[in-house]
Each structure stands twice: as structure tokens, then as C-alpha cells.
Chain A
Amino acid sequence: MVLGMRDVRLREASFLILSALAGEPRHGYGIIKDVAAQSDGAVVLRVGTLYGALDRLAGEGLIEFDHEEVVDSRLRRYYRLSSAGASRLAQEAQRSARQAELALSRLATGKGLLA
């Protein structure tokens, strides 16, 4: 099977970061907190990992710079989802939903379970 760029699945961290930016523009620490909340604390983004992912997503045109502000003498740079990022996230979410639905329906029949 030959995969196109849009068919390559997002990594979990990238998916969660895009999802964090889907509601509103967020700064780095805000993304880290939102990702942790989304995953019930299962995914703890390191700052190095976060910025590596942000650079990659920006390079792919999925996110873009929104604005920056200084709060308590700390620089906060906000990022937002681009239109390409929104459609990519929607596509990925629909695929995950379809797969989850299929898995749940199969589990409901219970034929594959051990007695």
C-alpha cells in the first residue's frame, strides 16, 4: 500500500497538540497542561518534545503563530491551528472514531473472547 502525505497517521503527541489548539490559541505551557488533561495525565510532554513537535507542525503548515504577550515577566508565544491543520485533525479524528466504533462493535458481539 502506498501512502500519500495526508494518509500518514499523526503521532499521538502531534494529534494531542493539534487537539489542544482546536479550541483556542495556546502558548507552550498551556499546550502541555491541555495535553496532560486530554490524556488524563498519561501523556506528559517534555518541553524539548513539545517544541520539536511545534516546529514540525509549523513546517507542515498545520499550525501558525498567533500572538505573544509577557505575563509575570515571562514571554508567552501563542500558536493557533491553521485551516490545513483543522482539516487534518478532523480527518484524523474521524479515522480514529471509525476504528474505535468498529472495535467496540466487534467487542460487543464477543465472538473473539475467551470463554
Chain B
Amino acid sequence: MSTADPHARLEQSYRRLLWLFPPSYRRSRGRELLDVLMERADPGQRRPSPAESVALLRFSVRTWAWRALSPAPAAARDAMGLLAVVLPMLLLFPAATALYIDAQVGGFGMDELPFGVDIPAWLLWCVTAVLCLFGRPSWARWSASLGVAAYLAAQVVEYSVNNFQTVANALGWLGVQVIAMIALTSPAWVVRGRCQVRRWWAAAIGVTAAGAGLAVSSVDYLQLSTGPTGYLSWPWLVTALLALVAAVVALRSAAGRAVLPIVAGLAGFMATAKYLASGLAGDLGNNVTGQSGPRGHLDWSNLTLLVVTPLVVFIAARVVTAGANFRFPPA
């Protein structure tokens, strides 16, 4: 084929333009595009018209953008499933922390909390969420696993220096991370917004949540009457009511039904572990006011977190549902 041939020159020019497209797109549609371009060309045309070049350029940019922002449907569906676990997980940590502060630290607020490695672990879960959003499920699993391993290693170090109380207080958060990581490595649990949790896992989650509910909602723990500090512990009550409303509303959507057992299970496990472990460490019963027994405390920063978190969990569940339904409508 001689380049003096106008037909051949035009074809070469189009081939060069097609290099603007992603390789996978070029492989699947390149020949078809080229043949239509050549078929459409005027007799004797030697180079692409500016309008056609601009249209191809625009189309290639859109294709690249679409490829970058929209991974393959299977990967995106997987990522949506992972996100359904990771988002509640991310939101549970501050909620549980707030509950913990509220019950234990009393009037001293959040500054007294020994955050330690909790926040870096939480940040790694943020990275996991971002990776899920960008449709990188395998990377997300690695990120989550790395976070849990680092957190576990930190707790081992704490244990080795006889800091038993810190280890005991971290048990709940560690337990939640391990459960979420197990969920992440089993993406078939959440498929197209439908819950596919194995029955015995669902039963275990239900029992855990029920047990935690009983423990947390006991009259003594809730401090529904005026407590020793003179405040009513109504943040707990408000949170419980809001969580109940969010749960009932979430049950109306398929993904909500998938997310809810996970949220309830994680929250229940965390509350139970914090309650039991802290009690075992002799920490919960001796708070900074020097008076025995857990008590509630009205603190606006905690209250805001407590009130907002269940709503944000609900909104996150709805966003995931909407995203999954929009991109993967039920067959």
C-alpha cells in the first residue's frame, strides 16, 4: 500500500486518531469505527475533516472518562456490595466512640480519649471505601486486611507492655473490623442489593444484636431517671429511637435489608464488647467523677454525633441502594 494513495493516507490518518481511544475499546470497536469512517469518506479525500477529528477527539475523551469512572459492571457490582459493608462500618466507629465517651468519660469530653491507633485504622477503612467507590474491590480487600492486621499488631504491642485496659477497650473495635473484613472477603453476601447471608450467620447476628440490645437497654444502663450527675441520659434514648426509625425505613429497600443485619450485628457486637470488656477491666464502673456505675452525660458534641450517625447510616444505605438500582436494574 503506497502512502501516495489518498485512500491509504486517509486510512493511516484515521488509524492515528483511533490511537486516542483506550486500548480495550480500540480492540473491540476499532475496526468497525475505521471501516465506517472510510466508508463515509468522500472520494479523493486525503485527510480527516476537522469536524470529524474533533468529534473523534471528544468521543475518545468521553470514552476514557467513562472507563476511568465506570469500571466493568461485575467489578462495580462487587464494589457496591463491599461499600454496603464499609460505609456502615465507617460510621459505626464514631458512633460507638461517642457512646463510649458518653458512658465512661462523662464531663471531660472527647479530649480525654486515648485514640491511639484507632484513628489510623479508621482512616484505612476510609481508603477502603474510596477504593470501593472507584471499583477496585481487590485493592479494597487488601487495604482493609492491612488495616486490621496493623491494628491487631498494635494491640499485641499494648498487651506486651501490660497495657491490658487499652487492649480490653479496643476489643470491640477490633471485633467489628474482623467481622467487616470477613464480610468483605465474601462479596457474594451482598449481590444486587439482595441479602445472601448464610442462615446461621444471620441467626448469630440476630442473637448478638438481641443480646446487645438487652444489655444496653437495661434501665440501669440507660439511666432513664435522673442520674447521679443530675442529667437525664436521653442521648441514648434519642439514638435508639432514631436507629429504630432508620431501621424500619431501611427495611423498605432491598439494599437496606441487606445492610441492616450487618449494621445491627456490628453495632451490637461493638456495644457488647465495649460494655463487657470495659467492665472486665474495671474501667466502666469507675469513671472520672469517682462515682460508681455507668451513667449518661449530656454533651452537645456527643449528642450531635449520636443523633446524626443513624441518619447518615440510613442515607448511606439509600445512596448505595439508589446507585445499585440505577446502574444494575433488576433483570
**In the complex, are the beta carbons of A49 and B59 less than 8 A apart?**
yes
Q: Which of A32, A52, A55 contacts B40 (CB 8 A)?
A: A32
Chain A residues, CB < 8 A from B55: 46-49
**In the complex, are the beta carbons of B31 and A47 less than 8 A apart?**
no
The interface bits of chain A over 9-28 (1 if a CB of B lies within 8 angstroms of the residue's CB, else 0) are 00000000000000000011
Interface of B is mostly: helix
Chain B residues, CB < 8 A from A51: 29, 33, 59
Asked if A75 CB lies within 8 Å of chain B CBs, one says yes
Considering the chains assembled together, what is the distance between the CA atoms of A42 and B62 in angstroms? 25
Considering the chains assembled together, what is the distance between the CA atoms of A97 and B59 in angstroms? 32
Q: Which of B36, B54, B60 contacts A29 (CB 8 A)?
A: B36
**In the complex, are the beta carbons of B40 and A29 less than 8 A apart?**
yes
**In the complex, are the beta carbons of A47 and B36 less than 8 A apart?**
yes
Q: Report the minimum CB–CB distance from A18 to chain B (whole Å).
A: 18
**Interface band, chain A:** 10 to 19
Considering the chains assembled together, what is the distance between the CA atoms of A29 and B32 in angstroms? 10
Chain A residues, CB < 8 A from B37: 47
| Beta-carbon contacts under 8 Å, A26-66 to B | 27-29, 32, 46-52, 55
Considering the chains assembled together, what is the distance between the CA atoms of A48 and B49 in angstroms? 12
Chain A residues, CB < 8 A from B38: 74
Chain B residues, CB < 8 A from A75: 31-32, 35
**In the complex, are the beta carbons of B29 and A47 less than 8 A apart?**
no
**Interface band, chain B:** 20 to 34
Considering the chains assembled together, what is the distance between the CA atoms of A47 and B48 in angstroms? 11
Q: Report the minimum CB–CB distance from B67 to chain A (whole Å).
A: 11
Asked if B56 CB lies within 8 Å of chain A CBs, one says yes
Chain A residues, CB < 8 A from B58: 48, 52
A76-B52 contact in complex given A32-B40, A47-B40, A52-B59, C-beta closer than 8 Å: no
Considering the chains assembled together, what is the distance between the CA atoms of A47 and B37 in angstroms? 6
Asked if A77 CB lies within 8 Å of chain B CBs, one says yes
**In the complex, are the beta carbons of A46 and B36 less than 8 A apart?**
no
Asked if B149 CB lies within 8 Å of chain A CBs, one says no
Considering the chains assembled together, what is the distance between the CA atoms of A55 and B51 in angstroms? 20
| Beta-carbon contacts under 8 Å, B161-190 to A | none
The interface bits of chain B over 61-105 (1 if a CB of A lies within 8 angstroms of the residue's CB, else 0) are 011001000000000000000000000000000000000000000
Asked if B150 CB lies within 8 Å of chain A CBs, one says no
Chain B residues, CB < 8 A from A77: 32
Asked if B312 CB lies within 8 Å of chain A CBs, one says no
Considering the chains assembled together, what is the distance between the CA atoms of A41 and B304 in angstroms? 63
Chain A residues, CB < 8 A from B52: 46-48
Chain B residues, CB < 8 A from A47: 33, 36-37, 40, 52, 55-56
Chain B residues, CB < 8 A from A52: 58-59, 62
Which 4 residue pairs are nearest across A and B when measured between Cβ atoms?
A: A48-B55, A46-B55, A48-B59, A28-B36
30 A–B contact pairs at CB < 8 A? A28-B32, A28-B33, A29-B36, A29-B39, A32-B40, A46-B51, A46-B52, A46-B55, A46-B56, A47-B36, A47-B52, A47-B55, A48-B52, A48-B54, A48-B55, A48-B56, A48-B57, A48-B60, A50-B36, A51-B29, A51-B33, A51-B59, A52-B58, A52-B59, A52-B62, A55-B63, A55-B66, A74-B39, A75-B35, A76-B32
Extra 19 A-B pairs, beta carbons < 8 Å, given A29-B39, A48-B52: A27-B36, A28-B32, A28-B36, A46-B51, A46-B55, A46-B56, A47-B37, A47-B40, A47-B52, A48-B54, A48-B57, A48-B59, A48-B60, A49-B59, A51-B59, A52-B58, A52-B62, A55-B66, A76-B35
